[in-house]
Structure 1
Amino acid sequence: MSLFDECIEALGENVHVLSDSEGEQVLRDFENSFPFTEWGRIEWEKVTYHAKMNTVDEIISFLNQNIDEYSNVIYVIWDERTLPIIQSELNKVFEVIDDVTAVSFDTWIFSPSSGYVIEIFHDGEVRIGLK
């Protein structure tokens, strides 16, 4: 079983693996919402409102303070382009975050409806930003 398969299993029934065309649309929305460096990280200096995070509680607090009602429906995007994008729920992703981040080096949790992204970089740095 691959790490991707283990992640899907850990997320349980509230996960949807997007088709290629659905994934391409989410990826376009993501890339149009946030600026990227040449090496594939979000260019945080160009994101007006962002912060470094250390815990899930800090992320939830940031969302509660900055978004009136944020959507629990999110997309998980990995830096490995051959992996499909998945749709799940933020609280469920946080419950099994080790399984989610084990799939590839860098991971983004993106909510187009609420306008936020969480970048989990392979060196352990976690940032959240608003578009």
Structure 2
Amino acid sequence: MSLLDECIEALGEDVHILYKGNREQILNDFENSFPFADWGQIEWKKVSSYEQVDTFDEIRSFLNQKLNEYSDIVYVIWDEGTLPIIQTALDKVFEAIDDVTAVSFDTWIFSPSSGYVIEIFHDGEIKVGLK
């Protein structure tokens, strides 16, 4: 079983796997929502509202402070271009975070409808921000 398969299994029910057209649409929305550096990390200094965090509670606190309401439906995007994008609930991602981040070096959790992203960079740095 691959790390992707383990991740999907750990996320449980209501996981949608996006390939090709749907994947490209979400990826385009993501790339148009946030500026990226040449090395693949979001250029946070160009993002109007962001915070470095260490816990899920800090992520929730940031989202609650900055957004009146926010969508729990998110897309998990990895830096490896051959991987699909996964749509699931934010709480499920938090519950299975070790399996989610094991799939590839860098991981982004993106909500196009609410305009937020959580970046889990391979050096252990975690930031949350708004487009």
- With structure 2 as the length reference, what TM-score do the two structures score? 0.99
**Distance in 1 separating the partners of 2:71 and 2:30:** 16
Gaps of 5+ in 1: none
Per the alignment, residue 41 of structure 2 pairs with 41
**Following TM superposition, where does structure 1 have runs of at least 4 consecutive aligned residues deviating by more than 3 angstroms?**
none
Where does residue 118 of structure 1 map in the other structure? 118
Structure 1 counterpart SS, 2:40: coil
Aligned partners of 1:86 and 1:92: how far apart in 2?
12
5+ residue gaps, structure 2, are: none
User: What is the alpha-carbon root mean square deviation over aligned residues?
Assistant: 0.5
- The DSSP-based 3-state class of the residue aligned with 2:62 is helix
Question: CA offsets per residue over residues 69-111 of structure 1, 9 Å max, x none?
Answer: 1000000000000000010000010001000000000000000
Aligned length: 131
- In the alignment, residue 52 of structure 2 is paired with which amino acid? K
Percent identity over the alignment?
72
What's the CA shift for 1:19?
2.4
Distance in 1, Cα, partners of 2:19 & 2:121: 25
Aligned to 1:102: 102
SS in 1 for 2:119: strand
Corresponding position of 1:61? 61
SS at match of 2:63: helix
